[in-house]
Amino acid sequence: MPKWKIYTPDGVQDILFDECHLKRSLEQKLRTLFRSCGYNELETPTMEFYDVFASDGGAMPQENMFKFFDQQGRILVLRPDITVPVARITATKCRDAAYPLRFSYIGNVFRYNDYGGGKQNEFTQAGIEVLGVSTPESDAEVLSVAINALKATGLESFQVDIGQVEFFKGLMEETGLSDADTEEVRKWIDRKDYVGLEEFLNRHDIREDLKKLIFDLPGFFGSADVIDRVEAFKLNKRSREALENIRQVLKILDDYGMGQYVSVDLGMLRALEYDTGIIFRGFTYGVGFPILTGGRYDRLVGEFGKECPATGFSLGINMIMMAMQRQKVSIEKPETDSIICYSEKGRKTAFELCDELRRQGLVVELDIANSTPESAVIYAAAKNIGGVISIVDGDTVEIRYVQSGEVAAVQISDLLKR
């Protein structure tokens, strides 16, 4: 046997039975939610040209992409996310569409991750994108759908942190630091690395009040009063507008009745090239990684030839499933109600009965192993099937209830009437 025949590659997994059932049902709930909010689902190719995802911003480093070649030697990648293809579609195929566009997707993406702790190299993302508007209403809508999505999964305690990268960019403008230095500061703050941050600030000549604010930035998270605290500082227009923007979004979320789910984190700073406004992450107990990320990315679509503001979010379905399992959220399992046993003589009756019961909404298996009713009970017990129905003659069946062991003779006409 070839060496790797019975194994799966690193970072991918089989999703079986109960788990798969749960995953599909989550996906269905999300799909229904997205559609009810007016989002149109789309599907993008699993593979794309590398160029689609290549950018200087480093939002997705090339080391993290699965690459291969097409027949002409062009570089292909397995899509590392779906937002970028959506941007490509928006700029190329929806140039003249009426804005705002509302798109949703559910699909697998591929990244070389440090997998573990629930992280995989192949995982399923569900998300939405709103394109063509840059109002606080649009950011709030995306956040509200995100929160409703988390609620729909059945997770009870979760939290969504909201940041605004323009606030930080405004601060950096004020310091006059170079792009490279700004990136360094971003990294220290995003990691809440006070040591590195302090060391950096000591090396650079920055206005004292700004220095203090930047040093405290990693700690500016919590309830909305964080914004008041920061506003006490002397800020430039860009930073002020960013704070005003968060305020507006929080206010709209209050009107949605979702204020209790959100808090503020001004020290949340991801990719400065990519993010251009409100950004957010969702957390819950039991998993060490965010279960949801999102935000505004007004420049991305422009890279594909048409300027268009955009915002959206995606959530990691596998991560959510892990959180549900850790938090012991009760989940529905696939159940089979009955199995029908028959001999050749009763076969036609069995099939008719089976059809009818299925039409009534029951899950019914046929005994294709030709077992006796007694051995079918053993099989049914192992598979958690409720009852064994065996055809006696054209009018009567015997029902064996697996749990209680009861046997009852029942008229077929009675079964059909239910």
Site residues (CB under 8 A) for another protein? 114, 116-118, 157, 159, 161, 191-196, 218, 221-222, 263, 265, 283-290
In this complex, which beta carbon is closest to another protein, that of residue 99 or of residue 285?
285
Q: Which two tokens stand for residue 177?
A: 């630091």
Q: C-alpha distances in angstroms, 288 versus 116, 138, 273, 291, 384? A: 10, 29, 26, 9, 34
CB of 312 to another protein, least distance (A): 21
End-to-end CA distance of the chain: 54
Q: Residue 339: beta bridge partners?
A: 365, 388
Say which residue the tokens 């819950």 belong to: 284
CB of 226 to another protein, least distance (A): 12
Peptide bond into 290 cis (omega under 30): no
In this complex, which beta carbon is closest to another protein, that of residue 90 or of residue 120?
120
In this complex, which beta carbon is closest to another protein, that of residue 115 or of residue 256?
115
Q: Residue 364: beta bridge partners?
A: 338
Do residues 81 and 314 lie in contact, with contact meaning Cβ atoms separated by under 8 Å?
Answer: yes
Do residues 93 and 40 lie in contact, with contact meaning Cβ atoms separated by under 8 Å?
Answer: no
CB of 3 to another protein, least distance (A): 26
CB of 110 to another protein, least distance (A): 19
Do residues 392 and 409 lie in contact, with contact meaning Cβ atoms separated by under 8 Å?
Answer: yes
Q: In terms of Cα–Cα distance, which of 410, 146, 140 is closest to 292? A: 146
In this complex, which beta carbon is closest to another protein, that of residue 117 or of residue 176?
117
CB of 265 to another protein, least distance (A): 8
CB of 365 to another protein, least distance (A): 40
CB of 289 to another protein, least distance (A): 7
Q: Which two tokens stand for residue 99?
A: 């804005």
Whole-number Å distance between alpha carbons of 194 and 168: 16
In this complex, which beta carbon is closest to another protein, that of residue 41 or of residue 181?
181
In this complex, which beta carbon is closest to another protein, that of residue 290 or of residue 386?
290
State the amino acid at position 308 in one-letter form.
C
In this complex, which beta carbon is closest to another protein, that of residue 160 or of residue 249?
160
